[in-house]
Structure 1
């Protein structure tokens, strides 16, 4: 099983490490042509406006939409969640618009308001450690979106079929269970 990590910006090496700890092959994705060989892809954190601009520049927007239309699993973390969203609060345009969620950028404040906490995530036995850095928030979900985790009554992880999104950075811990959850999604989609 090959899981790609979009390598335009963000914690690419950390996601690759987690994918491999979870038992799959991680692939650094820098070219659109690489998508054809992948079973799933992770869009990491970083700066969503910058990643969005680079995705347009290198032809990834249409290619990733097509990837999603094939029901190939996609996992967006932090900025990656923003890139998957159908709507971004206060912005006219969203990026990939594949997941039926509305998100707010930097909802938890600036860099100095970053924090770590333990979260209960539906489908994972024990709490996971979550790192929030200038994190977005899921304000609204569509009818087919399942809420997987909340922090102080605010949605921070969700799933819609083959799409998974988290406000936080699971790759910045030693706990790869959320990556295992995603790999299970990929395995199910291949079956």
Structure 2
């Protein structure tokens, strides 16, 4: 994913983030900060009222009382290698297995997938969401594009940069966005959700569209 000089402008939330108790909450959200678009996610989440914790160590992951976790875009095979190098993979797998809510964008979707149909040599996923994904499904970085999607949450301004696509989805997976058609159509699947996870092929954080981040915080 290319570097960006500054975070995209963030649209203001239309209502306060609400916790499971029904009252206004300030959830603590970790962002895996080994590589990729960390700053844009952090700015968006803080604007929506969350406390953000960059996760680069096992301690930040396990000792920060996280209510949720974001896996940002970047290079999925590089993030996979860094997770193992910094001894984060095993504790992350354990926390996700215990049900930690998670939002993944672009490379984050690939990390969450149960299967990568075209992995880089030695690449592994975290196997959280029962989907199969194809990396770089829409072409190289030169084919990057920003477009409006019709999603289950309404129109979303999305940036596609070497984006993956969902090839197949298993039980318990809801399709929340397709590219080129509405959700009821037959376009490539670019957004899915389960009770625990939201996985998006695209980057709403780069366009300043808070729709899915707001919905994710509402889950916490």
| TM-score scaled by length of structure 2 | 0.80
Instruction: Report if the CA contact (8 A) 1:22-1:177 is conserved.
Output: no
Runs of 4 or more consecutive aligned structure 1 residues displaced over 6 Å after TM superposition: none
CA distance in 1, matches of 2:51, 2:150: 27
Please say if 1:108 is aligned against 2:156: no
Match of residue 9 from structure 1? 35
Cα displacement string for residues 19-68 of structure 1 (whole angstroms, at most 9, x for unaligned residues): 11222111111111112321110010100010000001112221111111
Larger fraction in helix = 1
Give unmatched runs, 5+ long, in structure 1.
187-191
Instruction: Report if the CA contact (8 A) 1:85-1:94 is conserved.
Output: no
Please say if 1:49 is aligned against 2:83: no
**1:42-191 counterparts in 2 under 5 A?**
42-91=70-119, 94-122=124-152, 124=153, 126-152=154-180, 153-186=187-220
Give unmatched runs, 5+ long, in structure 2.
1-26, 181-186
Residue number among 29, 53, 74 corresponding to 1:27 in the alignment = 53
CA distance in 2, matches of 1:58, 1:70: 21
Cα distance 1:99–1:174, how it changes in 2: closer, same or farther (>3 A)? same
SS at match of 2:100: coil
| TM-score scaled by length of structure 1 | 0.92
Cα displacement string for residues 92-141 of structure 1 (whole angstroms, at most 9, x for unaligned residues): 7532111101000000000110001101221x2x3010000000001110
CA distance in 1, matches of 2:155, 2:50: 23
RMSD: 1.2
Aligned length: 184
